[in-house]
Structure 1
Amino acid sequence: MERNKYRRVWSLDSVFQSNSNQFINHIQELERSLDKMDGHLAATSISSKEDADYLLNLLKEIDSLKLKLSQASSFITCLLAQSPADQVASVLQGRVAKLKSKYGITLTKFQAIVANISLDIWLDAVELDELKDFQFILAEWREEGATALTSNEKAILSNLSVDGYHAWGQLYQTLMGKLEIEIQLEGKPQKYSIGQALNLRAHSNEEIRKVAHEKLEHKWSEQKESFAKVLNHIAGFRLQLYNFEGTDDVLEEPLRKNRMKKETLEAMWSVVSKNKNAFAQYLNRKASMMGDEKLQFYNFWAPVETKVKEIQYEDAIDLVKDAFRIFGNQLEAFVTTAIEEQWIEAENRSKKSAAAFCAGFPMSEESRIFMTYDGTMKGILTLAHELGHAFHNTAMNGVAGLNRQYPLCIAETASFFAEMIVLDAAIEAAVTKSEKITLLDEKLKRSVMNFMNIHSRFLFEQNFYEERKKGLVSAQRLNELMQEAISDGYRDSLDNVSVHTWLWTPHFYITDAPFYNFPYTFGYLLTYRLYEKAKEIGADFENTYIQLLRDSGKMSMEDLMLKHLNEDITTEAFWEKAMKLCVQDAELFLELTALEIV
């Protein structure tokens, strides 16, 4: 394989030219557009059927503002990920945060106008051909606009959130991005970013995994008081917001944002809880294979085969492309575009952000993928995961900006689906039993992450918020809550766990998305149902899948699955079908490794 065949560093120039005023101009234009929109809204009242056309024009302006703001927000995210210490980008991030707040206020005012339309005019307006495509989101806005808070009160809260809420999330990213640890490898001390150090969890050498774990735990222990303050303030602001809105149910917002019924969430978690034994047995078997009674936390990501050859980045890209080709031509063509247009930042270097992500640029119909590629199968699957997100963005091309706001749970479906395609293709191509066990282990790690790890995060967040309602929660208590949640989530099948998981899990600090945990489990299990149907239908399924993605921003999850799968996801029966396939993976691993135990 030709080395350096594919660039590992992205280019952002097609979005905004570097070293130019293009981005500044974009921000200034957005500021002016928001001011202009405020003027329009102040003079607006929909009081007759003839005003429906004006409503459509306002909606188009809101749509345009949303696209421009998403473009700016993604660009800043990328700048700070590639260089967390970029002071210029940090200042610009502040301006974008204020614009997001201002857009939120503008949207609140528009929602109030929609909420105040009389029922007879409303029923006529939403039946207009031009507005039919926006019926779902308009209904959402009408409902939100009718809540107890006035638009003025919501505007005040939105302004406060810039410095009193979102700023804490930004501080977390800045603090985490600057942290480094030093590890001695091959007799030489080397500095690692947190992202690089976390990647060492998949190193083939157990001693290196253990040292990395211990160094990280020491770093977390040093930093825990600072990060406990950040987490407490994020949660405190959120709880105050809920009080203003007249609710104390911390799941109300995440369920609403995921357009999901509580019955769906409860059915999913019930099925997960009933089927954990198979995955606990897998973890116990892996511990036995490594000579331990219980699996060490730092060995979870370890390959079962100790002599693992590093997978070059070029080979990783080709493996992903070949797997996607089996699924469909459009997915393969998309990967080619992502590579040729330099959408991927994968270089393994220090002083870059830790978390992998995909950023969408809806105005220019592009995406950017950020990760630190480390030469492992885990790295390949992270690449596939983020490409799945980016494919979802591409599938949305041509869809109105307001209808691109799909929930996190369906976003995670697209990413896990891409992982599944790559992983299953690799398992199918495996020649030896050892290769098959190794790849099956990678697959089961994902099941454990979604059924045990994510469940532990969900349990932790639930319990933390209940305690936060009574006052500040100490760093020591956060450790205890995390320990309890991990013990419950993993059925006590891990030893030497990281009680600081609350500190280094970025999802707890995302201010736009509380409870960013259950969407992963939803997406993962749904992927199994989709993948099963894909194998049944064949190549024709790609178009069905793309249509599901295109509809994902304008339907509830229940209606989306009823339309495209003809299934009811509020029932445990739906989730059992998917879980059955996951359990079969665990049973196969146990069967294949039965003779490996001495």
Structure 2
Amino acid sequence: MAGRMVFDAAEPAKGDFGTLPEWDLTDLYPAPDSPELTADIEALDGQVRDFAASYQGKLAELTPAQMLACIEAYQQIDILAGRIMSYVGLRYYQNTTDPVRAKQMGDLQGKITDMTTPLVFFSLEFNRIPDATYQAVFTAPDGPARYKPVFDRMRAMRPHQLSDELEQFLHDNSVVGAAAWNRLFDETTAALTFDVDGETMGMEATLNLLSDHDRSRREAGARALATVFTANVGLFARIHNTLAKEKAIEDKWRKMPTPQHGRHLSNHVEPEVVEALRNAVTAAYPRLSHRYYALKARWLGLDRLQVWDRNAPLPTDSPRLIDWPEAQATVMDAYRGFSPELADLAQPFFDKGWIDAGVKPGKAPGAFAHPTVTTAHPYILLNYLGKPRDVMTLAHELGHGVHQRLAAGQGELLASTPLTLAETASVFGEMLTFRALLARTTDPAQKKALLAGKVEDMINTVVRQIAFYDFECRLHAARAEGELTPDDINALWMQIQHESLGPVFDYMPGYETFWTYIPHFVHSPFYVYAYAFGDGLVNALYAAYEDGLPDFQQKYFDLLRAGGSRHHSELLAPFGLDASDPAFWDKGLSMIEGLIDQLEALED
């Protein structure tokens, strides 16, 4: 059972949508000053020292049984460090402007980085094990065969590995390198305030205005965002310049052929597969986003769309706040309709304090599901404002949480899913929720609004994320030629907007700075194509489900339970799917086209 709350809020958040849940982090530690946390920090230090003393310089000589013991000891260290940093990180994300929480996270981040420096030898030395020895040890019956996928991926980095001394320097320096710039970005965005018609608002609430029914409120929100982003664009340009240059320097030393290559390696996906996805989507811009937004302009009675109209609700879509109990019931009913097991896996998130849903000052914007460690459970962060899209966000993040729970059975090293597959359960959860809502909707206006909302979500997931990926590719290529001014980055952003959104849009002054607030560019360069990969994959999976593929539910759960233990080609084979086939991506895009066809048919 979950214990007492450890955060500072005296009462759960309330609004027009009922009592919203808050995290109970006591499953990780009882309190930020608890003896258990202090003891684990001390234990981690001892485990790291013992591990280094036992194994450094000896990896190539270990028997299969000894190698298995070595890997399992390493995994225990990973779990302990992950538990500590998950706890202080989640507390920090609840209130990034609290100096006490920020200090504890910063201090422990530095301390654990220093403490784990003796582990740097492990991957470096491991990658020097001769191939014949590696194969013999990892195929022996009493050896670590089940961990082979993890170490196959590690050994894929061998061509890009530096000397032990340089790798140790990069490890030690990370806390004042990318991690420090990431933290500056987080704290800056969390502290931004926006003046909307005399009302001071945080970024999440201001961004939420862009989907308001009142066009004047949408415009006011967009202009407030533009004003503040423009005032801060110099700082954000500095952050991006520094991180892109830091990455370029490290990539040069590692002999990475492209800025994207490291991401593809970590995702265990071939560059040509990502390129096939990118090319299929960009070629489909006219058939998808350009076509849809022209249709939307007609619905809104406009010749031209402004940027604040992109996510506008339809005129027929009556404004309605969805309270938390209804949101929960909607998603859980959809999950249960697919499989009672899926609903059973999702239920504890609501019952045991695994969701933090309210919008609060200083809270990290957006939404995420944090897996923490496999010996605990995931936690979900939302900023719930009662919009239909917020219900879909709940379905999405709950999918991540269920996926993380199922994959936890693989153990810490194998549970982590490559980004290309990490969006599978989340997007599938959204699709289940959408289809359930569509099936019970009989009113034509509501059906149209629901279809349009889903098309917009898919465009935001596929078209917009591939556009973001292109923006990153161009930004890193341009940075390789020299320092980028804010105007340089703004120009790249606007090129991408014109290409992806189409000819029906006009752009207000200041929109050129809207790249500044997107955290993925800072935290996880080139991450964003994973969203499009996941959406295309789920569209193809859902088509197989609708076609009645035998034992679909069992095959789906097997895919989720696999975590990072198998390659995407192996996981998709039972469904008759192959991501290296360009037709695979066209199949997913054709589902979006089909929904736009349905919307056009409703016009007649």
Is the structural similarity TM-score above 0.5? Answer: yes
Alignment of 1:518-557 (within 5 A): 518-537=529-548, 540-557=551-568
Q: Which residue of 2 aligns with 1:589?
A: 599
Residue of structure 2 aligned with 1:514, choices 493, 511, 525: 525
Q: Which residue of 2 aligns with 1:242?
A: 251
1:485 aligned to 2:499? no
- Determine the C-alpha separation between the residues in 2 that align with 1:377 and 1:70: 34
What secondary structure sits across from 1:293 in the alignment? Answer: coil
- Determine the C-alpha separation between the residues in 2 that align with 1:28 and 1:14: 19
Q: Which residue of 2 aligns with 1:160?
A: 173
Distance 1:18 1:561, change over 3 A: same
Return 446-455 or 260-269, whichever deviates more: 446-455
Q: Which residue of 1 aligns with 2:343?
A: 332
Residue of structure 1 aligned with 2:389, choices 378, 382, 385: 378
Residue of structure 2 aligned with 1:90, choices 102, 106, 123: 102
Q: Which residue of 2 aligns with 1:120?
A: 132
What secondary structure sits across from 1:126 in the alignment? Answer: helix
- Determine the C-alpha separation between the residues in 1 that align with 2:536 and 2:336: 23
Distance 1:495 1:67, change over 3 A: farther
What is the deviation of 1:393? Answer: 0.7
Q: Which amino acid aligns with 1:295?
A: L
Distance 1:5 1:230, change over 3 A: closer
Q: Which amino acid aligns with 1:391?
A: V
Return 84-93 or 311-320, whichever deviates more: 84-93
- Determine the C-alpha separation between the residues in 1 that align with 2:417 and 2:596: 32
Residue of structure 1 aligned with 2:154, choices 141, 144, 148: 141
- Determine the C-alpha separation between the residues in 2 that align with 1:561 and 1:273: 24
Residue of structure 2 aligned with 1:16, choices 16, 29, 32: 29
Residue of structure 2 aligned with 1:52, choices 57, 60, 64: 64
Residue of structure 2 aligned with 1:180, choices 193, 204, 207: 193
Quick check: 1:205–1:306 contact (8 Å CA) kept in 2? no
Q: Which residue of 2 aligns with 1:294?
A: 304
Q: Which residue of 1 aligns with 2:3?
A: none
Q: Which residue of 2 aligns with 1:256?
A: 265
- Determine the C-alpha separation between the residues in 1 that align with 2:320 and 2:601: 25
Quick check: 2:162–2:253 contact (8 Å CA) kept in 1? yes
Quick check: 1:399–1:550 contact (8 Å CA) kept in 2? yes
Q: Which residue of 2 aligns with 1:577?
A: 587
What is the deviation of 1:148? Answer: 4.8
- Determine the C-alpha separation between the residues in 2 that align with 1:503 and 1:538: 44
Q: Which amino acid aligns with 1:74?
A: S
Q: Which residue of 1 aligns with 2:47?
A: 33
Flag structure 2 segments of 5+ consecutive residues without an equivalent.
Answer: 1-14
- Determine the C-alpha separation between the residues in 2 that align with 1:558 and 1:249: 24
What secondary structure sits across from 1:13 in the alignment? Answer: helix
TM-superposition CA deviations, 1:525-557 (whole Å, max 9, x none)? 101111122233479423211211222302332
What secondary structure sits across from 1:182 in the alignment? Answer: strand
Q: Which amino acid aligns with 2:91?
A: L
Q: Which amino acid aligns with 2:250?
A: L
What is the deviation of 1:37? Answer: 2.1
TM-superposition CA deviations, 1:174-223 (whole Å, max 9, x none)? 11111111324xxxx43321111111222111111110111011010111
Distance 1:515 1:5, change over 3 A: same
Return 531-540 or 129-138, whichever deviates more: 531-540
TM-superposition CA deviations, 1:221-244 (whole Å, max 9, x none)? 111111111111111111111011
Q: Which residue of 1 aligns with 2:12?
A: none
Distance 1:518 1:19, change over 3 A: closer
Identity of aligned residues (%): 21
Q: Which residue of 2 aligns with 1:357?
A: 368
Distance 1:231 1:431, change over 3 A: same
1:405 aligned to 2:408? no
What is the deviation of 1:43? Answer: 4.6
What secondary structure sits across from 1:397 in the alignment? Answer: helix
What secondary structure sits across from 1:488 in the alignment? Answer: helix
What is the deviation of 1:384? Answer: 1.0
What is the deviation of 1:506? Answer: 0.7
Quick check: 2:57–2:125 contact (8 Å CA) kept in 1? no
Quick check: 2:237–2:485 contact (8 Å CA) kept in 1? yes
Q: Which amino acid aligns with 1:555?
A: R
- Determine the C-alpha separation between the residues in 2 that align with 1:436 and 1:306: 9
- Determine the C-alpha separation between the residues in 2 that align with 1:360 and 1:272: 30
What is the deviation of 1:288? Answer: 1.5
How many residue pairs get matched? 584
Quick check: 1:365–1:397 contact (8 Å CA) kept in 2? no
Q: Which amino acid aligns with 2:164?
A: S
- Determine the C-alpha separation between the residues in 1 that align with 2:205 and 2:272: 40
Q: CA RMSD in A?
A: 2.2
- Determine the C-alpha separation between the residues in 1 that align with 2:111 and 2:149: 25
Q: Which residue of 1 aligns with 2:294?
A: 284
Quick check: 1:561–1:568 contact (8 Å CA) kept in 2? yes
1:208 aligned to 2:217? yes
- Determine the C-alpha separation between the residues in 2 that align with 1:7 and 1:542: 31
What secondary structure sits across from 1:191 in the alignment? Answer: strand
- Determine the C-alpha separation between the residues in 1 that align with 2:86 and 2:503: 40
- Determine the C-alpha separation between the residues in 1 that align with 2:342 and 2:199: 39
What is the deviation of 1:105? Answer: 4.9
What secondary structure sits across from 2:353 in the alignment? Answer: coil
- Determine the C-alpha separation between the residues in 1 that align with 2:276 and 2:504: 24
Return 316-325 or 115-124, whichever deviates more: 115-124
- Determine the C-alpha separation between the residues in 2 that align with 1:146 and 1:52: 25
What is the deviation of 1:407? Answer: 1.2
Q: Which amino acid aligns with 2:387?
A: T
Residue of structure 2 aligned with 1:132, choices 118, 139, 145: 145
Distance 1:40 1:223, change over 3 A: same
Distance 1:522 1:235, change over 3 A: same
Q: Which amino acid aligns with 2:354?
A: W
Alignment of 1:39-78 (within 5 A): 39-47=53-61, 51-78=63-90
Q: Which residue of 1 aligns with 2:9?
A: none
Q: Which amino acid aligns with 1:11?
A: D
Residue of structure 1 aligned with 2:516, choices 490, 503, 511: 503
Quick check: 2:395–2:426 contact (8 Å CA) kept in 1? yes
TM-superposition CA deviations, 1:415-470 (whole Å, max 9, x none)? 11111111111111112111111110111112211332112211111111111112
Q: Which amino acid aligns with 1:33?
A: Q
Q: Which residue of 2 aligns with 1:266?
A: 275
Q: Which residue of 2 aligns with 1:431?
A: 442
Q: Which residue of 1 aligns with 2:92?
A: 80
Quick check: 1:112–1:146 contact (8 Å CA) kept in 2? no
